[in-house]
Structures are given as structure tokens and as C-alpha cells.
Amino acid sequence: MTRPVTGSAPIIAVDGPAAAGKGTLSKRLAEALRLPHLDTGLLYRAVARLMINAGLDPASTSGESIARALSLADLKRTDLRTPDVDAAASLVARDNAVRQALVDMQRIFARKNGAVLDGRDIGTVIFPDADVKLFITASPYARAVRRYIQNGGTDDAPDRDQRIRTVEIALIERDHADSTRASAPLRMADDAIRIETDALCADEVLAHSLRIVRDRLKAKNVNFPSANMQDLCS
């Protein structure tokens, strides 16, 4: 067990592949439940950004010392979602020493007041005893379309299909790297609930997730007075 469950605010793990909608869901879930939210991908992105800026190559150098010195303030940088950081973060995330260096930060954050954490290994490694585990996924094509629009792509762009295909290929490569790495690979925890989001809009994913959270917390007798679950789920 990584924490005593009784008497503390819930920890909700949201895992899944890139661009599946974990970020949007987790942010909205945290707001609805009045819990802190941590996008753990930002940890790997921030290490990657700091390495790139220091002229260090994440393919051949360990970011362990940068990871050990990382603070929550580093996650507020506005240059963490660039294509070079996308690729470097995936390399950084393969490094077991970096992952180990970031474990405590994630656990301390969530244990303080409960939290919604989204990432790849929250339900399997960081909080194997999380109160609720969701695994959010969608087809590579649906995820590519979302990422294309997120990056400012429009439906009437003449090169729309080609650009979506390029994004889709990059996502498939990153999925492969994330799920085949030796250290904390992307994998659904045995007790996680899988939500396929291809045919669901963000509101539907949120409503479905809130019902799961309510039922799980009730079944586990987790006392959670800070949000009225009945109102949220009606």
C-alpha cells in the first residue's frame, strides 16, 4: 500500500495513450470534484525542455539531476508543448533514473489533499492503490484529429488529411515507444475502467467518469464531503 485510504481525500488515476483526452477529462474532473490536478506528462516535458535548453541530448544523456531539481513552478512554463519537446519527453520518460526521481514529487502532491493525476503509469506504478482508476483511450485516427485541431488545424485546410496522417503516424510511434519501454510501460491496470472515447464528446466522457467515481468511492466507503456527488451525477 502506498497510502492509508481511510480519512484522506481520494486519489484518482487517469491513464491512457497520447491525445486520448486524459488532460481535458482530468482537468474537468478535478474542477468538479474540487481536487488538485496534476498532469504528470508535464514532468517529463519539463525535464525534456530543460535538457534541450541546456544543449543535452535526451537520447544519450540522463536527465536524472534535472529531474531531481524539478519544482512545480517548472510545470507552468509555456514552452512544454512543442514538437521537439513531444519527441524528447518520450525519450526522457524511458530513463528509469528520471522516473524514480519524479515518483516522490507525484506522491507528495497527491497525498496532501487528494488529487486527480493523469499520465501513463499512475494506476500501475505511482498509485497502485488509487481509489479510482480510469483508462482513457481512442483510435489513433480519432486522437490524431483531436491533436490536429488542438494545434490550430482547421477542417477546411487543403492539406488537412495529410497533416492528420502525419500526426497519426507520430502518435502511433509514441504509443509504441511508451508501451514497449522497460520502465513503467503504458499499460492498463487490471482494476482500471476503460473508457473508449471515439464516439463520445468531452461532456459525455466527464459525465460517465463522474458516475464511475461516485460508484467506486461509495463501494470503497471513501468519505468525500467536498463535492456533492449526487448533484454532479444527476
Annotated binding site: 16-24
Q: How far is the CB of 228 from ligand CDP (least distance, A)?
A: 30
For ligand CDP, the closer of residues 79 and 211 by Cβ is 79
Other C-beta atoms within 10 Å of 226: how many? 11
| C-alpha to C-alpha distance for 174 and 83, rounded to whole angstroms | 12
CA 55 – CA 206 distance, rounded (Å): 40
Rounded to 5°, the CA angle 223-225-226 comes to 130
The residue (of 44 and 148) whose beta carbon lies closer to ligand CDP is 44
Interaction of residue 10 with ligand CDP, rule CB under 6 A: no
Tell which one of 9, 12, 44, 95 touches ligand CDP (CB under 6 A).
Answer: 44
Q: Which is nearer to ligand CDP, 109 or 227 (CB)?
A: 109
Contact 117, 14 (CB under 8 A): yes
175 lies in the binding site for ligand CDP (CB under 6 A): no
Q: How far is the CB of 13 from ligand CDP (least distance, A)?
A: 10
Which candidate, 115, 96, 97, places its Cα nearest to that of 106?
115
Near ligand CDP in 82-111, by CB under 6 A: 89-90, 93
